[in-house]
Amino acid sequence: MVAVSGHPVLVFRTPQGFRAFSAICSHLGCIVAWNEAHHDIECPCHAGVFDTNGKVVSGPPPRPLSEYSVVVVNGEVMVKTA
Amino acid sequence: MSLPPKIRRWLAERYDIDVAEKFVDGQLHKPLPQETGFWHTFGSLSLYLFLNQVVTGILLMIYYRPTTNTAFESIRFIMTKAEFGWLIRGLHAWGATLMILCVLVHMMRTYFMGAYKKPRELTWVLGVLIFGCTVTFGFTGYLLPWNQLSYWATTVGTEISGAIPVVGNYIKLLLRGGEGVSGETLARFYVLHVVVLPWVLTTLIVTHLFLMRVQGLATMERVGEEKPTDKKHAVPFFPDHVLKEGVVFCALIGVLVTLIVLWPVELGVKADPFVTPEGIKPEWYFLPTYQLLKYFPKLLGIFVSLIPPLLLLLWPFLDRGRERHPKKRPVAVTIGILGLFLAILFGVLGHFSETTITWHEQRYQLDMYAVPHRLPAGGEAAPNRATKGAKSRESNSQSANH
């Protein structure tokens, strides 16, 4: 979890590379977290579950998580805000 | 009751003291209908509790600092360092809960005794507005300690308003003072809580009391057939009813202090906008709405949850039958009991949803709809996506923090 321009962003590594999603749940604005045991992203408020593409798997969220583009520059992971 | 002669003479030289004395005497000895009993004291208890909130609120304001860097710490100071600070905060937090409870009981008494009927419709409407104002007090006050539960409950609560078509986002922005819940939100809620709402509520209460005094208490007679109170059988306001109120007031103080001592109000963990803790639940009086919202898509949920308050507000204009006695109003009484049952049911479901409970040595995981799912002995919650709420979470202790 990192702060990008004051917004909480979830960055994780997949076999295809780094992915970054807004950590603000699309349902009611709680902060989602990576669940290592289930290999998914879960919201603690109303049990919304998202997959590693940010898509809704179950629960009440109406939209997927917003995705940020990620680039790796000189070994540093950079998250683009716009 | 009369004034000492010297003071009376001094006042009489300046004011028409007879008129004032006659008014006070008339109010003090106002004959109340025979039906006036202990159930009629809950309105006054709500008023005492409001006064308690004002006095303890003023005392809390001496040390409370409404900024994100100081709010939590100032409450910690009140709880641990300030002389009797724990008691003052306890009186304020538990007083709020009891005030909502008393207002609710008072409304139920009015409903089941048919006291909202003509000519007292507006007194009822004002009462519903007083109830709305009281829970708004609860909602705005809940954020002020700036702890994790209050922060996230406010985030979820204000986010819901964003789903209202057209104006939703503006309302959300107006409430929060920005994109997320921040110091701006804290300042807004503080101003609402300590300046705006107290005056709004005071105005509503004064008007409510004025109408109640002018029209007198309702009897159980049919609409239009109320007889003037027979002085021989009437209950004098003073001393009879006031004594009754005194008894209930003493019991209330006992309950309040017991609650403060046995279930002290917690402070929790300071708000962290980057981490949402598990088990975020609103205060008990929002639990039925919280649970109801889960069964509908966001927008539809808002409309459905608006139905009960709207029904309450308009009820005197919908139920225009002339009978007041509950035995002669089967439909209204059935609707009242059903509404009460649903509110309690949804509240209980909301309380136990997304928790793990043990029943006869078997652990059950309750999903977001509070449907129990049997857990394997000693194992962690199975990641069952179909249940939506599948999470292992030890029971509900995080709810209802003031």
Query: Can you tell me the distance from the alpha carbon of B89 to that of B401, in angstroms, rounded to the nearest whole number?
Result: 12
- Indicate the SS3 state at residue B111: helix
Q: For residue B354, which residues of chain A lie inside 8 Å, CB to CB? A: 47
Q: For residue A30, which residues of chain B lie inside 8 Å, CB to CB? A: 152, 155-156, 276, 280
Q: For residue A33, which residues of chain B lie inside 8 Å, CB to CB? A: 275-276
Task: Write out pLDDT tens, residues B46-60.
Answer: 999 999 999 999 999
| Interchain CB contact of A59 with B (< 8 Å) | yes
Q: Under an 8 A CB cutoff, do A30 and B274 touch?
A: no
- The residue that leads in pLDDT, B324 or B179, is B324
DSSP-assigned states of every residue in B317-369? HH---S--SGGG-HHHHHHHHHHHHHHHHHHHHHHHTT-EEEETTEEEEE-TT
- Indicate the SS3 state at residue B143: helix
Task: Write out pLDDT tens, residues A42-75.
Answer: 998 888 899 999 999 988 888 999 999 999 999 8
Query: A22 to chain B, minimum CA–CA distance in Å?
Result: 11
The average pLDDT across B75-85 equals 97
Query: B312 to chain A, minimum CA–CA distance in Å?
Result: 28
Count the residues in chain B.
402
Q: Under an 8 A CB cutoff, do A44 and B277 touch?
A: yes
**Secondary element (H or E) of residue A7:** strand A7-14
pLDDT of residue B214: 93
pLDDT of residue B387: 41
pLDDT of residue A69: 92
Percent of chain B whose pLDDT exceeds 70: 94
DSSP letter assigned to residue B41: G
Q: For residue B383, which residues of chain A lie inside 8 Å, CB to CB? A: 37-38
What was the ipTM of the complex prediction?
0.85
Task: Write out pLDDT tens, residues A15-28.
Answer: 888 999 999 999 88
**Residues in chain B whose beta carbon is closer than 8 A to a beta carbon of chain A?**
152, 155-156, 159-160, 180, 273-280, 294, 297-298, 354, 367-368, 380, 383, 385-386, 388-391
Phi and psi dihedrals of A25, rounded to 5? -60, 135
Could you tell me the two tokens for B321? 């039958």
pLDDT of residue B395: 38
Residue B161 has pLDDT above 90, yes or no: no
Q: Under an 8 A CB cutoff, do A47 and B354 touch?
A: yes
Helix axes B71-80, B85-112, angle to 10 degrees: 100
Residue B287 has pLDDT above 90, yes or no: yes
Q: Which of residues 4-43 of A touch B (CB under 8 A)?
A: 8, 23, 27-33, 37-38, 42-43
Query: Looking at beta carbons, which pairs linking B160-166 to residues 24 or more positions away fall under 8 Å?
Result: B160/A28, B160/B293, B160/B298, B160/B302, B163/B298, B163/B299, B163/B301, B163/B302, B164/B299, B164/B302, B165/B299
Selected residue of A31, A36, A66 to mutate for chain B interface (largest B Cβ count, 10 A): A31
Give me the residue from A1, A29, A57 closest to B385, CB to CB: A57
**Secondary element (H or E) of residue B57:** helix B42-63
pLDDT of residue B378: 59
Q: For residue A47, which residues of chain B lie inside 8 Å, CB to CB? A: 354, 367-368, 388-391
pLDDT of residue B379: 53
Kindly identify which residue of chain A lies nearest to residue B277, measuring between CA atoms: A44
Domains of chain A: 2-73 (2.102.10.10)
Task: Write out pLDDT tens, residues B170-198.
Answer: 999 999 999 899 999 999 999 999 999 99
Q: For residue A37, which residues of chain B lie inside 8 Å, CB to CB? A: 380, 383
Q: Under an 8 A CB cutoff, do A46 and B368 touch?
A: yes
**Across chain B, what does the average pLDDT equal?**
90
Give me the residue from A8, A28, A32 closest to B160, CB to CB: A28
Q: Under an 8 A CB cutoff, do B156 and A43 touch?
A: no
Domains of chain B: 32-271 (1.20.810.10)
